[in-house]
Structure 1
Amino acid sequence: MEEARRRTLHGRRRGKKLRAGQQSLLDTLLPRLALDLPAEPIVTPEADVTESAAKIDLARLFGGTLPADGVWLEVGFGAGEHLVWQAEHHPTVGLIGCEPFINGVAKCLAHIERTGVTNVRLFTDDARFVMAALPPASLSRAFVLFPDPWPKTRHHKRRFVQRDNLDVLARLLRPGAELRLATDDPSYLPWMVEHACLHPSFEWLAEGPADWRGRPEDWPGTRYEKKMLAGHKPVFLRLRRC
């Protein structure tokens, strides 16, 4: 049990009691969009498994045909605002969003219902389960936006941006694909630079401070950022798979 807790990278699973409408979306809309892992048993992330023998059939996941412009993965989509915005603006891309916080999943479903996007699939648990089951070189882009910084030194091993996860993302991303990271935590920025920007499989696309201090045009802000990041200076890192 202690080992399982040590390797958990996310926080709580539930917050306030869901409203009736939110629960209804979980009961009716989520089953139509949920990503089901392959039937073959997959060892839990606590065992540090980085690849599963059984792979997700991405064509089947998105209605029988692979999305014309590839598949993108968002690790920890929060309330889903960024995920759904990308789906609206890139209708020929298939997006997989992973989020274990059920209240956030409910909010994401509300955004999906409001916009009518059909190119999003959701996984309501640890993203590493999905990463273990995706085929190699199957992703055209990946997002890890404002992950839990786990600021205490003894908790740094829980940070998502670390060598093992980056190695898996490097295996999943096609050559030339983009990895986007964001944080507002001052201690996480140098960590991201050390672990991601200096990773041998990724090229940091920044040519100067303005490239990581400013938000790219196709990177929308969210209510979380407006509410939680007031007074903070988020950074936006873009990396290319070599």
Structure 2
Amino acid sequence: MIGTGLARQPNFYGRRYGRKLRPGQQRLYVELLPRLAIDPAPVGAPLDPVALFDPPRKEVWLEIGFGGGEHLAEQARAHPEVGIIGCEVFVNGIASLLGHIDRLALQNVRIYPDDARPLLDRLPDAGIARAFLLFPDPWPKARHERRRFLGRENLDRLARLLADGAELRVASDDPTYIRWVLEQVLPHPAFQWLARRPGDWRERSADWPPTRYEQKALREGRKPVFFRFVRRPRTSSVDGS
């Protein structure tokens, strides 16, 4: 693993464990995960994302909450020149991604098996070229809205670590969360929505692989939305960076 020590964890809401792992999954968890995992480290300890990959990659992407890992794995397969960091706390989801990595012999994936926020605080300014937040837990009840990941504090984190012109891609099938995304992101000075027509958010772009959550939503009659935002160029008048 990469890094030493332990990070102080913020409050986390959600499941970490599901059904018992199958023997093959347990083997990958023991043998493969330690070679790919980014270890927790002291709060604020700097981390160079490029240095995580050998050989170095052209740029680094980040997926927060990769679920079963099918989107991340397909992006890694399609873009071997890119290093991809995936963050996930759910053990069964991590095991699923490890299965994809093993099957596809991927060499350009690193995994942070915990809450993403301490990792984001360790990444350098403008060090990430693309970020994904796909079908996060919507926490639909009003009293739980502070648990939603895409609030001002985390948008500020993403604004800091995304390079100028980098994309932030967000998907959801929950009407409450869809409204929430627009309410949170559109007023933020660092981000611009790329949509020019309804199809830009009703349809996935060709370079956006599907996830099991999208497929489940469609089976159950829900229509996912696919947001693409761009990180505006840094100017002191826009965001102080």
* 2:50/2:60 contact within 8 Å kept: no
Q: List 4+ stretches of structure 1 deviating above 6 A.
A: none
Post-superposition offset of 1:227: 2.6
Name the structure 1 match of 2:107.
Answer: 118
Q: TM-score, length-normalised on structure 2?
A: 0.89
Post-superposition offset of 1:196: 1.2
* 1:82/1:220 contact within 8 Å kept: yes
Deviations 1:31-62 (A, max 9, x none): 01011244xx21xxxxxxxxx2x211323311
User: Could you tell me how far apart the structure 1 residues matched to 2:99 and 2:137 are?
Assistant: 24
User: Could you tell me how far apart the structure 2 residues matched to 1:227 and 1:181 are?
Assistant: 17
* 1:136/1:172 contact within 8 Å kept: yes
Name the structure 2 match of 1:12.
Answer: 15
Name the structure 1 match of 2:226.
Answer: 236
Name the structure 2 match of 1:154.
Answer: 143
Residues 211-230 of structure 1 mapped to structure 2, 5 A cutoff = 211-230=200-219
Q: Does 1:82 align with 2:71?
A: yes
User: Could you tell me how far apart the structure 1 residues matched to 2:166 and 2:151 are?
Assistant: 19
**Code of the aligned partner of 1:19:** R
User: Could you tell me how far apart the structure 2 residues matched to 1:218 and 1:239 are?
Assistant: 15
Post-superposition offset of 1:5: 11
Counting aligned pairs with the same residue, the percent is: 56
User: Could you tell me how far apart the structure 2 residues matched to 1:169 and 1:139 are?
Assistant: 9
User: Could you tell me how far apart the structure 1 residues matched to 2:198 and 2:174 are?
Assistant: 17
The counterpart of 1:97, out of the listed 76, 82, 86, is 86
Would the alpha carbon gap of residues 229 and 128 (structure 1) be closer, same or farther in structure 2, given more than 3 Å must change?
A: farther
Q: Does 1:62 align with 2:65?
A: no
* 1:37/1:56 contact within 8 Å kept: no
Number of equivalences = 224
Q: Does 1:205 align with 2:194?
A: yes
Post-superposition offset of 1:95: 0.2
SS of structure 1 residue aligned to 2:136: coil
Q: Supply the RMSD in Å over aligned alpha carbons.
A: 1.7
**Code of the aligned partner of 1:59:** V
**Code of the aligned partner of 1:17:** K
Q: Which sections of structure 2, spanning at least 5 residues, go unmatched?
A: 1-7, 233-241
User: Could you tell me how far apart the structure 2 residues matched to 1:111 and 1:197 are?
Assistant: 35
Q: Which sections of structure 1, spanning at least 5 residues, go unmatched?
A: 43-51
SS of structure 2 residue aligned to 1:238: strand
Post-superposition offset of 1:6: 9.3
